[in-house]
Each structure stands twice: as C-alpha cells, then as structure tokens.
Amino acid sequence: MISKEDAEILKQLSAEHGLKFISGKFSQGVVFSTSLGQEDQVVTDMIFRNQLPIKVFTLDTGRLFYEHYDLLSKNNSRYKTKTEVYFPEASDVEQYVNEKGINAFYHSVENRKECCFIRKVKPLNRALENAQIWITGLRSDQSENRENMPIIEWDEDRKLFKYNPLINWSYQEVLNYLEQNNVQELALHKKGFISVGCQPCTRAIEEGENPRAGRWWWESSQKECGLHSH
C-alpha cells in the first residue's frame, strides 16, 4: 500500500531514486510497461542498470515497425536480460480482421478503438494481473490528456497504483539522459517519428507539431488508445 507519506516522498525523489524506493518497498508486484519509446528507454535503463526487482514487459500488437523488434533485441543483449512480451489473443484478432477488414481502424474511431482494445488493452490487462504498482514513462506535456496526471495515482479500474516517475520531465531532459548514458533508441526517432505506435497508425511529424500529432493522424481525437485514458 502506498501511503500519503510515501506519495510525498516520491514527489521529492528523482526518477531513479523513486524507482529504487518503490522496488524496495514492494518485493514483488512492481511492473513496468515499455513501448520502447524514448521515455521508456530512460526508465528501462534505470531499472536494468540498477538491477531493480521490477518486471519489464512490452506489448507486441502484431502491427509494429521492424525497428521495435530490433531495439528489443538490442536491449536484451545490452542489459543481459529479457523483456517479457505479451501478444493479443489470436481469436480476437482473427474475428476483427475477418468481420471488419485488415485495416478497419481507418474507417471509424470506434473501429480504431476496438483494434487498440484487442491489440493493446486486453494484453496489458493480462500483464498487470497481480501487479501492485504499474510504472509508466508518461510525461505531462505529451498531450492535454496527461497534463494533470500526478506522479503516483490509484487506478480504480485495475485496482493498483500507477507510478509516473518522468511525469514532470521535459522532452529535453529525456534527450539529455539518453545522450549522457548512451541509451539506445528507436532508429525511427531520427526520421521524425517521436511518439511511435503501430506502423499503420503512425506518421512522422513536421517541425512544430505536437509529438502525438503523428498518432492516428486521420482522426481529430484525444490521441489515446485506452492504455492511459485518464
């Protein structure tokens, strides 16, 4: 259980010391979900470099870029560990594709959210079973939906605490950490892909655009998939 005192302590700690504090308080049940983006690579490096007892996992939607798999392999090799991979249920994907079409997500927001639910949300829920603390790489300036997220919060739907150690970091701080610690990145970032999701649903952004403008670019929505909906 995270007390009010613990929450206040976490507000004062750096991201790295916060991760050490959390993993020290809970001997098990602490998990980190990585999409292999820049922020998540920062957290991954902090966890693996300090050999913290935190389970690191990722979601393979079946529609990722090749670069995701390349970086995942490089991470496992560099840190001499294994990031657990969760896949969508084959029967869910088969039913969706056979009934609506392979690229049905382009046709409506409802179709797109259903695809995200099948390929991301359901596998995430399986990965979070029995977890007590869910660590993310979210930052407040990534989107309007994340502006007011606290550093730690209770997720009522999943009945666990959600810890966002980088929530107050700027994008420049992320870049500085990656450079200073020689952390590997997705090759896509140098091609204008900042926020990277599934290949059919992500485009490079133009200079001055919001980092999430390249996600589901054909929509005028909140640019969320349902993993972090509040």
What is the distance between the alpha carbons of residues 40 and 37, in angstroms, rounded to a whole number? Answer: 5
Report CA Rg, the chain: 17
Contact status, residue 37 vs residue 195, Cβ threshold 8 Å: yes
CATH topology of domain 4-86+125-214: Rossmann fold (3.40.50)
What is the distance between the alpha carbons of residues 121 and 176, in angstroms, rounded to a whole number? Answer: 31
Q: What is the pLDDT of residues 76-100, one digit of tens each?
A: 999 999 999 999 999 999 999 999 9
Q: What is the pLDDT of residues 142-165, one digit of tens each?
A: 756 656 789 999 999 999 999 999
Q: Could you confirm whether 225 is annotated as catalytic?
A: yes
Q: What is the pLDDT of residues 58-77, one digit of tens each?
A: 999 999 999 999 999 999 99
* Model pLDDT, residue 1: 81
pTM of the predicted model, to two decimals?
Answer: 0.90
Per-residue b/e over 50-71, b at no fewer than 16 CB within 10 Å? eebebbbbbbebebbbebbeeb
Q: What is the pLDDT of residues 171-199, one digit of tens each?
A: 999 999 999 999 999 999 999 998 899 99
135, β-bridge pairs: 32, 163
* Model pLDDT, residue 66: 97
- Across the beta sheet with 55-59, the strand order is 84-86, 55-59, 30-33, 133-135, 160-163, 152-155
* Model pLDDT, residue 27: 80
85, β-bridge pairs: 58
Q: What is the pLDDT of residues 108-146, one digit of tens each?
A: 999 999 999 999 999 999 999 999 999 999 998 875 665
Name the helix (H) or strand (E) containing 180. helix 171-180
* One-letter-per-residue 3-state SS of 136-153: CCCCHHHCHHHCCCCCEE
* Model pLDDT, residue 230: 45
- Provide the token pair at 193: 């892909």
* Model pLDDT, residue 223: 55
* Model pLDDT, residue 41: 98
Helix, strand, coil share of the chain (percent; to 5): 45, 10, 45
* Band of residue 12 on the pLDDT scale cut at 50, 70, 90: very high
Contact status, residue 47 vs residue 32, Cβ threshold 8 Å: yes
CA distances from 113 to 105, 118, 140, 215 (A): 8, 9, 22, 13
The domain limits of the chain are 4-86+125-214
From the candidates 115, 116, 198, 225, which is the catalytic residue?
Answer: 225
What percent of the chain has a predicted confidence (pLDDT) above 70? 93
What is the distance between the alpha carbons of residues 174 and 183, in angstroms, rounded to a whole number? Answer: 11
